[in-house]
Chain A
Amino acid sequence: MPRDGACERTLVLGLGNDILTDDRVGLLASRELAAQAPLVAVEEACLCNLDLLPIIEGYDRVVILDAIWGQAWEAGRVYRFTPADLPHSFGYRSPHTMDLSNMLAMGRDMGLQMPKQIIVLALGVVDPFTFGEELTPAVREGLPGLVDAARSELGAGE
């Protein structure tokens, strides 16, 4: 949540697992952005869904940095989504399977102050499954692009 009296109403949130090779790009990008833009609120999380609610509550705009994997997503390339663009899950089957849209709806239904705008910037990755602490080469080269995209997004919102 934003600190009382602070001006930050935009949050950059890096998501990922830091020991699953390329799955850590969101975390790395958010750390790089925090170093380059110290006045911006930046958080990183290895959490999913339900547990993200208290982190994003109270912000007007949230820019999420994450990884995306699949045949349709080119490694090293940045993709931009809104929650409506993302696939929907089976619903509230368990805390792990709740998708972003369901989570936002739940927050709103409970009267929490949910962001008016959420942008997801995802970097196409090669391997988000293998235990490892190094990025694959294509993803290492693409990481600065994710940081640049986040910076542009922040500039576009001002």
Chain B
Amino acid sequence: MKRITIDPITRLEGHGKIEIFVGDDGQVVNTYFQIPELRGFEKFAQGRPVEELPRITTRICGVCPEAHHMAGAKACDAVYHVEPPPTGRKLRELLYSTFFVADHSVHFYVLAGPDFVCGPKAPVAERNVLGLIQKVGIDAGKRFFGMRRQAHEVIKLLGGKAIHQVTALPGGVSRGINEEERKHIEAVAEDFVDFGQFTLDVFEDVVLGNQGYVDLVTGSTFRHETYYIGLVDENNCPNFYDGQIRVVDQDGKETAKFHPSEYLEHIAEHVEPWTYLKYPYLKAVGWKGLVDGKDSGVYRSAPLARLNVADGMSTPKAQAAYERMYSVLGGRPCHQTLAYHWARVIEIQAAAERMLELARDPDITSDDFRTVPTATPTEGVGCVEAPRGLLIHHYKTDERGVVTDANLVVGTTNNYAPMTLSIKKAATDLISGLDEVDEGSLNMVEMAFRAYDPCFGCATHNLGDEGSLEINIRRRDGTLIHTARR
């Protein structure tokens, strides 16, 4: 048996390792996708005043603090049985839409885009954001960094800090915006809508304009037939900030729709001893192992899933892009994993349009942005769509509002089983039978998880009482110096 290790895996947020076991006949026998990160936020949240959690949980990782800030604030609303006034809710959503544009763009331009723009088997030294900018043009790079700077400025204005925001409170937010600030945000949102179209055009030219990539996207190697989950509004359109949770099956038929507070009735988690990350699955279908299909409770979350569960988009340019994608890919739901990249670029446009709608909303400059809670705190669930999947914060407190228990189901966690399936299939199709495994082929195996835009900094919290542990100490160039095991 031969063992091929991809360590560290690259162009993602967080850390992980892929082990591929190849039999003597050259066929891939199994793969393991291990996540060694551990955070422990659910533990040290206990004993804290619950209103601190929207600020503490932003520290889970520095990539998506906005998502934890909002999910935490919504959980606090529920704990205190209070609803933010419309302006408070809209200000939260305005910040959140801005964040979605910036966050999704980093994935396309810095993490995943190089695979398509430079080529999946291009030399490693070229297959990165600089290589992408050199191929697409320096202006694209300047637009990307300009967008990022503008996004940080707006987020700092609305959230108090560019990273690790502080303004969302139980019942609303701590500050409103005046007309001058509103006009500035509106101008930025108009730029973002242009940027969203620019990014869609880049995807069209670079990916869809290349038959090899189209074959990769539509082929069988990167395909799984799973259930899909996502947050939808009253029209069954995706809403990143709020809504009901909708589940559809492999044929696109709705199998569940529920309020986020009922998540424990629908979602359970399976544990394996060799990884710190858990596997969520649909309780109604059950855990049948790491397999897809109608009889398996494995489901997918995040961009492609959100579009698969939706009957359409709530904004016009995103709707046009949504229709284009499904007309090319043969209808909804789409089971092609690499279509996650297309769905993500559509969501950049959707978030930009929503940001512009909110910046133009007549309520947005109102002074009525918070309802101060008066009820005794108890328990509450807050749910948003993080860029990487459904994010749930569930808090329980005593009568003083001090946290007694916390449970976080993080975006990337939802996709851990699908990522594991995708890696195994890609390895089986691309590595089996090869006399020599080249770096380009291993990168194509990595593309199987990269499509999901995972963030393992957030998505981990299982630590068994015992278990084996291996620590590898490496030089800067990756050479192994020492291995310690227990």
The 6 A-B pairs at the shortest CB distance, nearest first, are namely: A92-B128, A54-B149, A110-B141, A93-B10, A46-B163, A110-B138
Within 8 A of B (CB), among A73-90: 87-90
Q: B148 contacts which chain A residues (CB < 8 A)?
A: 50-51, 54
The answer to whether B13 and A109 touch across the interface, beta carbons within 8 angstroms, is no
The answer to whether B130 and A51 touch across the interface, beta carbons within 8 angstroms, is no
**Does A91 reach chain B (CB closer than 8 Å)?**
yes
* Dominant secondary structure at the A interface: loop
A151 to B13, CA, bound (A): 37
**Distance (whole angstroms) from the CB of B406 to the closest CB of chain A:** 16
A94-B13, A94-B111, A109-B133 known; A47-B163 Cβ under 8 A: yes
The answer to whether A92 and B130 touch across the interface, beta carbons within 8 angstroms, is yes
| Contact flags A114-153 to B (C-beta < 8 A → 1, else 0) | 0000000000000000010000000000000000000000
| Contact flags B121-159 to A (C-beta < 8 A → 1, else 0) | 000010011100110001001100100110010000000
The answer to whether B152 and A91 touch across the interface, beta carbons within 8 angstroms, is no
Chain A: CB-nearest residue to B65:
A46
**Does A155 reach chain B (CB closer than 8 Å)?**
no
A110 to B110, CA, bound (A): 14
Residue of A46, A89, A92, A109 near B62 (CB, 8 A) is A46
A136 to B106, CA, bound (A): 36
Chain A: CB-nearest residue to B107:
A95
The answer to whether A96 and B145 touch across the interface, beta carbons within 8 angstroms, is no
Q: B129 contacts which chain A residues (CB < 8 A)?
A: 92, 106
| Contact flags A46-69 to B (C-beta < 8 A → 1, else 0) | 111011011000000000000000
A22 to B152, CA, bound (A): 26
The answer to whether B10 and A112 touch across the interface, beta carbons within 8 angstroms, is no
The answer to whether A111 and B130 touch across the interface, beta carbons within 8 angstroms, is no
**Distance (whole angstroms) from the CB of B102 to the closest CB of chain A:** 10
**Distance (whole angstroms) from the CB of B55 to the closest CB of chain A:** 10
Q: B111 contacts which chain A residues (CB < 8 A)?
A: 94-95
28 A-B residue pairs with Cβ-Cβ distance under 8 Å, sorted by A, are A46-B164, A47-B163, A48-B62, A50-B106, A51-B148, A51-B162, A51-B163, A54-B145, A54-B149, A87-B476, A89-B476, A90-B476, A92-B110, A92-B129, A93-B8, A93-B10, A94-B10, A94-B11, A94-B12, A94-B13, A94-B111, A95-B13, A95-B111, A106-B129, A109-B138, A110-B138, A110-B145, A112-B145
**Does A37 reach chain B (CB closer than 8 Å)?**
no
| Contact flags B2-29 to A (C-beta < 8 A → 1, else 0) | 0000001011110000000000000000
**Does A19 reach chain B (CB closer than 8 Å)?**
yes
* Dominant secondary structure at the B interface: helix
A-B contact sample (17 more), CB < 8 A, given A50-B148, A91-B125, A95-B110 = A19-B59, A46-B163, A47-B163, A48-B62, A50-B110, A53-B145, A90-B478, A92-B129, A93-B10, A94-B13, A95-B13, A106-B130, A109-B133, A110-B141, A110-B145, A111-B138, A111-B142
**Distance (whole angstroms) from the CB of B319 to the closest CB of chain A:** 31
**Count of interface residues, chain A, beta-carbon cutoff 8 Å:** 25
A47-B163, A109-B133 known; A54-B152 Cβ under 8 A: yes
A53-B145, A131-B44 known; A110-B11 Cβ under 8 A: no
Q: A46 contacts which chain B residues (CB < 8 A)?
A: 62, 163-164
Q: A47 contacts which chain B residues (CB < 8 A)?
A: 62, 162-163
A112 to B148, CA, bound (A): 14
The answer to whether B476 and A88 touch across the interface, beta carbons within 8 angstroms, is yes
Q: A110 contacts which chain B residues (CB < 8 A)?
A: 133, 138, 141-142, 145
Which one of B8, B62, B148 has the highest number of Cβ atoms from chain A below 10 Å of its Cβ?
B62
| Contact flags B104-116 to A (C-beta < 8 A → 1, else 0) | 0010001100000
**Distance (whole angstroms) from the CB of A3 to the closest CB of chain B:** 13
Chain B: CB-nearest residue to A102:
B130
Q: A109 contacts which chain B residues (CB < 8 A)?
A: 130, 133-134, 138, 141
Within 8 A of A (CB), among B337-364: none
A88 to B111, CA, bound (A): 20
A94 to B164, CA, bound (A): 20
**Distance (whole angstroms) from the CB of B115 to the closest CB of chain A:** 13
Q: A95 contacts which chain B residues (CB < 8 A)?
A: 13, 106, 110-111
The answer to whether A96 and B142 touch across the interface, beta carbons within 8 angstroms, is no
A105 to B128, CA, bound (A): 14
